[in-house]
């Protein structure tokens, strides 16, 4: 059996579930919107370095949004032993991981797609020619964050305090991706590539590839009792 | 259904530890095609772990599990396609309808004609009338039938049922017993865990009793079952006094 076909089947199932319940999008979207609106009131309207602060606030919001969404998505699999239902199927374990990853990426990107323009407007940022960099940084940063988060959500799902454990596991490991994503977004908000931006982009790409491989290799052991 | 003539399950010196706790302790078990086996034992005796090890959900700490002569560790996905698992939890998404759940699992199993497989399964389990209802809205008995339909979608050669009678009323339990009799064909292997000794001795053809992760009794169920029931209850009493 191929890996991608069952992975897409699982992702489509998650999407269908979300369309019915709106659990993840509603709770996560509202939370991030609240963060962004609150930040916009306390944000300085001028001065140097505001792009860097904006990028930091944005990624804090994205990090918490991703954590909330991934925790909820894996918790759904825990109810009625649905995760076991996936694991007793002939779908390779890697397909189960990729399916959950695709779904989590879909939810997180959907939230980001709404939040990012609102954030730019409310904080009066003018990325102009750096918009592509903001989009690229958001894509690469989210990919790394959600890859690590999906793996750790599967680890945390069987623990008693999974809501508390997931951030504890994800945050330290995601620091390099977060720092790089903030730096790339800052450059984007400032209008384009700056000194060192290429290095941060390469770091993000390397982080994504490394953790995708690590997650694919370890997920079968994480889900096996 | 798999046409391999050598289909059978072989556990050789299988142990499974969770930390310091030994759930299975050097279990040797051979189950041939056509077997209908009841696995009994007190809570924590290792019944669920035994089924998890056979289904590939849990990896043995030591020993080997073979289905149709193939090592589970080496060919997990291929062997999992031969096995259908029913647990006391339904493995169904409560917010999806019966049809959405079954179609999802049919696709996950890579079935060529998922719609046809779903229709066959729901007709067999008599749940066609709840196809468009969310699983959340179904009674416990109907949910269990849908869970069975899910496990039978790919017409598995091995069916594992972990305490399938849990939470069922008498009518639903009787209906389940009838279905298991129907499924227990010479081509299949059925293994179920349960606590009810009367049920264990009225349908299945072989009784395996686990105690402390070891096989304490393994006998065919033939003739008068009183002696076996007494032996089983004696084992439980001995364990309770330990």
Task: Give domain status of residue B148, yes or no.
Answer: yes
In terms of residue numbers, what domain contains A37? 4-223
Domain count, chain A: 1
Question: B68: which residues sit within 8 A by CB, 6+ positions away?
Answer: B2, B4, B6, B7, B8, B79, B82
In terms of residue numbers, what domain contains B111? 92-155
HEC profile of B119-185: HHHHHHHCCHHHCCCEHHHCCHHHHHHHHHHHHHCCCCCEEEEECCCCCCCHHHHHHHHHHHHHHCC
Give the distance from residue A124's alpha carbon to the nearest chain B alpha carbon, in angstroms.
41
Beta partners for B62?
B15
Model confidence at B144: pLDDT above 50: yes
Q: Is B56 in the A-facing interface, judged by CB distances under 8 Å?
A: yes
Order across the sheet with B21-32: list the strands: B21-32, B8-18, B62-67, B70-71
Task: Give domain status of residue B233, yes or no.
Answer: no
Model confidence at A223: pLDDT above 60: yes
pLDDT one-digit tens code per residue, B48-62: 999 999 999 999 999
Task: Give domain status of residue B17, yes or no.
Answer: no
Contact B108 A6 (CB under 8 A): yes
Cα B49 from Cα A214, distance rounded (Å): 28
- Start-to-end CA distance of chain B, whole Å, equals 44
pLDDT one-digit tens code per residue, A84-139: 999 999 999 999 999 999 999 999 999 999 999 999 998 888 888 999 999 999 99
Choose the closest CB to B52 out of A21, A79, A225: A225
Question: A221: which residues sit within 8 A by CB, 6+ positions away?
Answer: none
Domain count, chain B: 1
As a whole number, mean pLDDT of residues B46-75 equals 92
Q: How many A×B Cβ pairs under 8 Å?
A: 79
Contact A88 B85 (CB under 8 A): yes
């Amino acid at each position: 059996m191929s890996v991608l076909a069952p992975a897409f089947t699982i992702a489509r199932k998650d999407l269908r579930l979300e369309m019915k319940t709106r659990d993840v999008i509603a709770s996560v979207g509202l939370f991030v919107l609240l963060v962004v609106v609150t930040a916009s009131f306390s944000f300085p309207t001028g001065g140097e370095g505001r792009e860097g602060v904006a990028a930091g606030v944005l990624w804090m919001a994205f990090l918490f949004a991703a954590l909330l969404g991934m925790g909820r998505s894996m918790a759904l699999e825990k109810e009625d032993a649905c995760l076991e239902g996936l694991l007793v199927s002939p779908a390779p374990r890697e397909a189960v991981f990729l399916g959950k990853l695709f779904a989590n990426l879909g939810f997180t990107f959907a939230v980001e797609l709404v939040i990012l323009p609102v954030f730019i407007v409310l904080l009066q940022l003018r990325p102009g020619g750096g918009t592509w960099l903001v989009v690229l940084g958001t894509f690469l940063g989210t990919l790394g964050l959600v890859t690590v988060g999906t793996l750790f959500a599967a680890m945390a799902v069987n623990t008693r305090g999974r809501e508390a454990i997931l951030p504890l596991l994800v945050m330290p490991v995601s620091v390099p991706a977060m720092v790089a994503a903030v730096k790339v977004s800052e450059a984007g908000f400032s209008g384009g590539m700056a000194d060192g931006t290429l290095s941060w982009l390469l770091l993000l790409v390397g982080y994504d590839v490394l953790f995708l491989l690590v997650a694919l290799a370890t997920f079968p052991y994480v889900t096996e009792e | 259904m798999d046409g391999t003539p050598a289909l059978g399950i072989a556990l050789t010196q299988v142990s499974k530890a969770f930390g310091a706790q030994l759930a299975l302790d050097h279990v040797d078990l051979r189950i041939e095609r056509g077997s209908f086996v009841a696995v009994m034992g007190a809570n924590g005796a290792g019944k669920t772990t035994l089924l998890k090890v056979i289904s590939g959900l849990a990896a043995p700490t030591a020993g080997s599990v073979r289905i149709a002569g193939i090592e589970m560790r080496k060919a997990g996905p291929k062997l999992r396609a031969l096995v259908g698992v029913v647990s006391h939890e339904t493995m169904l998404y409560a917010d999806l309808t019966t049809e959405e759940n079954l179609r999802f699992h049919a696709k996950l199993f890579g079935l060529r004609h998922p719609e046809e497989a779903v229709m066959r399964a729901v007709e067999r389990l008599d749940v066609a009338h709840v196809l468009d209802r969310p699983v959340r809205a179904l009674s416990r008995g109907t949910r269990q039938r849908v869970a069975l339909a899910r496990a039978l979608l790919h017409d598995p050669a091995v069916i594992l049922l972990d305490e399938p009678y849990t939470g069922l009323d008498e009518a639903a339990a009787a209906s389940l017993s009838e279905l298991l009799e129907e499924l227990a064909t010479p081509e299949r292997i059925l293994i179920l865990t349960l606590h009810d000794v009367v049920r264990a001795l009225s349908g299945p053809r072989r009784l395996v009793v686990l105690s402390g992760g070891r096989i304490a009794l393994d006998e065919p169920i033939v003739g008068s079952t009183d002696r076996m029931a007494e032996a089983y209850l004696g084992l439980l009493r001995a364990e309770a006094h330990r």
